[in-house]
Amino acid sequence: GAVVSQHPSRVICKSGTSVKIECRSLDFQATTMFWYRQFPKQSLMLMATSNEGSKATYEQGVEKDKFLINHASLTLSTLTVTSAHPEDSSFYICSASKNTDTQYFGPGTRLTVL
Amino acid sequence: KQEVTQIPAALSVPEGENLVLNCSFTDSAIYNLQWFRQDPGKGLTSLLLIQSSQREQTSGRLNASLDKSSGRSTLYIAASQPGDSATYLCAVQDGSSNTGKLIFGQGTTLQVKP
């Protein structure tokens, strides 16, 4: 089956610093990758959709200057949370897709901003 | 705006019981509907995907049905086991085209007691 990894799995940082999260499709080429965030006991909310080699499409209410997404290759997308604050603490999950019918989800990254 | 609701929010059953999880969505114009499983602090595992033209899908002890006109889907789990304990998420892909954008419900947390 298709495997998607995320790194790191957990990160704790100080307020004001930037954090980069990687999402990799290990055994397939992902034309599209999606980034979600999940607050405790809540559902996943789509943040943005990224296609390889083009700019990400952000959902309404998501600040593109705060959440920088780069999809430089067919197997790697990165999400950088810039100038992180405690309210950015969340569980960030990526998914990767070959044809957008099926998304394969990563294991998630737990971000805690102190 | 599409909204997805899952009832109940939590469910606890004894091992061996058959159970039904419910999902409803407000806009019947969907491309497909998926059921996912999420273990605590982990990513998502896709269980079943139902295309808008289909009525149901089955995989092992799981059966998912879709009634698009009424905006409802159910996930039936037969002969539940303690290993089925997890949060089950329903998600719809909106619209008539394959955009890949998923809208999630808040999930049903299932506990199966031995």
Ordered mean pLDDT values, 10 residues apiece, chain A (114 residues): 91 96 93 91 89 88 94 92 95 87 89 96
Degrees (nearest 5) of the Cα angle A98, A99, A105? 55
Chain B partners of A101 at a C-beta cutoff of 8 Å?
A: 32, 49, 98, 100
Residues B42, A107: C-beta atoms closer than 8 Å: yes
Asked if residues A92 and B25 have their Cβ atoms less than 8 Å apart, the reply is: no
- In this structure, the dihedral spanned by the alpha carbons of residues A113, B4, B7 and B13, taken in order and rounded to 10 degrees, is -60
Distance between the two ends of chain A, CA-based, in angstroms? 37
Degrees (nearest 5) of the Cα angle A111, A112, A113? 120
pLDDT of residue B69: 93
CA-based nearest residue to B45, from B14, B89, B98: B89
Chain A partners of B43 at a C-beta cutoff of 8 Å?
A: 4, 6, 93, 105-108
Residues B42, A102: C-beta atoms closer than 8 Å: no
C-alpha B56 chain-centroid distance: 12
Considering only CB atoms, A49 lies closest to which of B46, B89, B101, namely B101
The share of chain B scoring above pLDDT 70, in percent, equals 97
Q: SS3 of A87, please?
A: helix
- Which is it for the CA torsion B84, B90, B96, B97, positive or negative? negative
Chain B partners of A34 at a C-beta cutoff of 8 Å?
A: 100-102
Q: What is the pLDDT of residues B5-57, one digit of tens each?
A: 999 999 999 999 999 999 999 999 999 999 999 998 888 999 999 999 999 99
pLDDT of residue B98: 67
Q: SS3 of A100, please?
A: coil
CB pairs under 8 A between A and B: 56
| Residue B84 phi, psi dihedral angles, 5° rounding | -80, -10
Residues A108, B104: C-beta atoms closer than 8 Å: no
